[in-house]
Amino acid sequence: MQVEEWGLRDLAYRIEKQAKGFYTLMRYKATGKAVAELERNLKLTDGILRYLTTRAVEDSPMTSPSAPRVYSDEPPRRNYDDRRNYDDRRNYDDNRSRGGDRDPSA
């Protein structure tokens, strides 16, 4: 059995008025009955807001999902600020063509 404690993190959305949760990743080998019993216990435990059980392929690497990923084959992604600035320029040009940015004194 392998247990990784990820610590306190923000939840994607509020669950039972909670905005933060303590994340833990458990990897183990067990029978279907053992998994069902574990899920039953998780469901009955008050401090556990959510859980997710998935079946992993046995040959899958044991790298942590929270580990930094290296994307060497993909082109670099644009920064959010780049998109915003591009959209602002485009909207500025659209307004000018409609006469929206004209100087009233001219």
Give the type of residue at 32.
G
pLDDT at 53: 92
| pLDDT for res 41 | 95
CB 33 within 8 A of CB 21: no
Query: Given this model, what pLDDT does residue 62 score?
Result: 73
pLDDT digit string (tens) for the chain, length 106 residues: 888 888 899 999 999 899 999 989 888 889 999 999 999 999 999 989 899 998 888 777 777 766 776 666 666 666 656 555 555 555 555 555 555 555 555 5
* The pLDDT of residue 63: 74
Q: Which residues of 70-91 are buried (b: 16+ CB within 10 A; e: fewer)?
A: eeeeeeeeeeeeeeeeeeeeee
CA 71 – CA 68 distance, rounded (Å): 10
State the pLDDT at residue 6.
86
